[in-house]
Amino acid sequence: MGWGAFRAQFRRAVCLSTEGTPTRQAAYCEGIVSDRPHDIRQVSDCVWELPRTGGMHVPGRVYADERLMPHIRGEKSLDQVANVAHLGGIVRYSLAMPDIHWGYGFPIGGVAATDPSAGGVVSPGGVGYDINCGVRLIASGLTHEDIRDRVADLTKALFRAVPCGVGSSGAIGKLGKSELKDVMSEGASWAVKKGFGTDADLDHTEERGCLSAADPSHVGPRAIKRGLDQVGTLGSGNHFIELGVVDKIFDERAAKTFGLTENGVTLMIHSGSRGLGYQVCDDYLEVMQDAVRKYDIRLPDRQLSCAPVESPEGKRYLAAMACAANYAWANRQVMTALAQRAVASVLGGSEQSLGLRLVYDVCHNIAKLERHEVDGKMKTLCVHRKGATRAFPAGHDDVPGSYRAVGQPVLVPGDMGTHSYVCVGTDAAMTETFGSMCHGAGRVMSRTKARKAAAGRKLVDELSGMGVFVMATGKGTLAEEMPSAYKNVSDVVDVMDRAGIARKVVRLRPLGVIKG
């Protein structure tokens, strides 16, 4: 069965009851319907505005097109865009990227910048539990022809090399508490010091893989206990390692700058801060419950609990969040080395001789203090990205020197059956979205529905028929993550491209995938 037929078949199963015909638009009508009417208006080709009402401090803005809007209108994510607009000190808009879907607190795909000098708040709900969940892309000197007959062997080797699944542990042996504090303070560079990767990897990691605000003394004992044995582990849910190939180039110059060539083999890793990050979020949500009372903050959703960035509670959260973010970067750095070694062991040769090197690493669940222009003045803002990726343009100081002429690579994974994209940030992203764009395809079907739709199907065989070799720890994960549970990533990326927020650089096609 071809990919189109596969997708249509799943969509038919879930859409007939609502739309009758299994069109793409019908598929985007899944979800829980909001009981709050929203007067959302199209203001340009790909931008929709949610007017300021009630306690909203600013309007909402959603990047989407006619194909994506029915689903967005049909679930509670617009309620969440409106809720985020209630945050104290929010600047310009409560933003949502085209992969927007119903989350908790913020919508997934939500971006909000607050101004600390005007009482702006930081909200753990705007970062999420998996702090610094993110993606990294590794390029190689290999072509598809070089590994055509080795995809299954390579995927199996990756599956053996990187522990995955719920609560996975034991990739590199249990750390001591003192060493874990080094991980939280140093991030990816801790991993490099321990022999996992090279300094060049740090150059190609957002923030060089370390937020300097990290202060382990603000991380609680439970988070530390949970973090001791999970460095170098993938986890579960939508986390994955994907062996892929560049199958289309849109921007030759940027692709060349990033070292990506047509038919070139790639590895993509998606994971975050594991149990340590979840616990930091849990702990600080309780701190923020008290802060909301202390600072008399009014919010429409308790999950948005927050404190002023400049308050003791806000500063402590940002210091602890930075520890979890650094843990996540160390985690992805260790996994990168384990994955590269696995590839080298299957193919023979070394990581160097196979040309394996990190293209870039981006985080998509984070709150960061960044400089942005507001009404003609440069200001330090607290930019929350909840399922959104930084997308800085050419010439920006925070883009690595080797990429500065073209801009920051933005990694946008799709579902495990279709494509992923590498894009590049633009000047428009800086003026419109605080240098942010989408982070993935965005779910369209609930996990429950996906499991029901997958019942009785042999997903592994069907994906194999599409040329994707898949291995997963849990059957449930594979069902929940099946391709038709997601929007079409090409539709999502096209909106960002048409809106001028980002440019497409290359498209990747999966060959082998491991899931938790």
Catalytic residues: 439
Q: Give the pair of three-digit tokens for residue 139.
A: 């390029």
Which residue lies nearer to another protein by CB, 335 or 359? 335
d(CA 289, CA 294): 9
Kindly identify the residues of this chain, within the stretch 285-324, that bind another protein according to CB under 8 A. 285-286, 289-290, 301-303, 305
Q: Among residues 75, 182, 415, 491, which is the contact residue for another protein, using CB under 8 A?
A: 75
Which residue lies nearer to another protein by CB, 133 or 502? 133
d(CA 503, CA 499): 10
Q: Does 237 bind another protein (CB under 8 A)?
A: yes
Q: Does 225 bind another protein (CB under 8 A)?
A: yes
> Minimum distance between the CB of residue 250 and another protein, rounded to whole angstroms?
29
Q: Among residues 119, 141, 165, 400, which is the contact residue for another protein, using CB under 8 A?
A: 165
d(CA 17, CA 282): 38
Which residue lies nearer to another protein by CB, 128 or 417? 128
> Minimum distance between the CB of residue 336 and another protein, rounded to whole angstroms?
22
Asked if residues 103 and 386 have their Cβ atoms less than 8 Å apart, the reply is yes
Asked if residues 504 and 254 have their Cβ atoms less than 8 Å apart, the reply is no
Which residue lies nearer to another protein by CB, 92 or 364? 364
Q: Does 389 bind another protein (CB under 8 A)?
A: no
Asked if residues 28 and 7 have their Cβ atoms less than 8 Å apart, the reply is no
DSSP 129-189: SSTT-EEEEEEEEEEHHHHTTTHHHHHHHHHHHS--STT---SS-PPPHHHHHHHHHHTHH
> Minimum distance between the CB of residue 221 and another protein, rounded to whole angstroms?
11
Side chain identity, residue 179: E
Q: Does 153 bind another protein (CB under 8 A)?
A: no
Q: Does 447 bind another protein (CB under 8 A)?
A: yes
Q: Among residues 88, 244, 275, 483, which is the contact residue for another protein, using CB under 8 A?
A: 275
Asked if residues 99 and 65 have their Cβ atoms less than 8 Å apart, the reply is no
Cα 227–416–489 angle (5° rounding)? Answer: 105
Q: Does 30 bind another protein (CB under 8 A)?
A: yes
Q: Does 445 bind another protein (CB under 8 A)?
A: yes
Q: Does 446 bind another protein (CB under 8 A)?
A: yes
Which residue lies nearer to another protein by CB, 104 or 295? 104
Which residue lies nearer to another protein by CB, 72 or 399? 72
Q: Does 226 bind another protein (CB under 8 A)?
A: yes
Q: Which stretch binds another protein (CB under 8 A): 46-54, 162-170, 188-196, 324-332?
A: 162-170
CA 509 to chain centre: 18
Q: Does 103 bind another protein (CB under 8 A)?
A: yes
Q: Does 16 bind another protein (CB under 8 A)?
A: no
Q: Does 398 bind another protein (CB under 8 A)?
A: no
d(CA 122, CA 297): 12
> Minimum distance between the CB of residue 42 and another protein, rounded to whole angstroms?
23
Scored b (16 or more CB within 10 A) or e, 42-52 reads: eeeebbbbbee
DSSP 192-238: HHTTSS-HHHHHTBGGGG--TT--GGGS-HHHHHHHTT-TT---STT
Q: Which of 68, 32, 29 is nearest to 48 (CA)?
A: 68
Q: Which of 435, 3, 344 is nearest to 140 (CA)?
A: 344
Side chain identity, residue 422: V
Kindly identify the residues of this chain, within the stretch 126-145, that bind another protein according to CB under 8 A. 128-130
Which residue lies nearer to another protein by CB, 98 or 264? 98
Q: Which stretch binds another protein (CB under 8 A): 208-216, 229-237, 319-327, 390-398?
A: 229-237
> In terms of C-beta distances under 8 Å and separation of at least 24 residues, what long-range contacts does 347-355 make, across chains too?
347/142, 347/146, 347/147, 347/150, 347/154, 354/140, 354/141, 354/142, 355/139, 355/140, 355/141, 355/142
Which residue lies nearer to another protein by CB, 221 or 467? 221
Q: Does 220 bind another protein (CB under 8 A)?
A: no
Q: Does 409 bind another protein (CB under 8 A)?
A: no
Q: Does 36 bind another protein (CB under 8 A)?
A: no
Query: How is residue 351 annotated by DSSP?
Result: T
Q: Give the pair of three-digit tokens for residue 104.
A: 């908790």
Contacts with another protein, residue ranges (CB under 8 A) = 30-32, 75, 77, 101-105, 108, 125, 128-130, 165-167, 222, 225-226, 235-237, 275, 278-279, 281-282, 285-286, 289-290, 301-303, 305, 443-449, 474-477, 480, 516
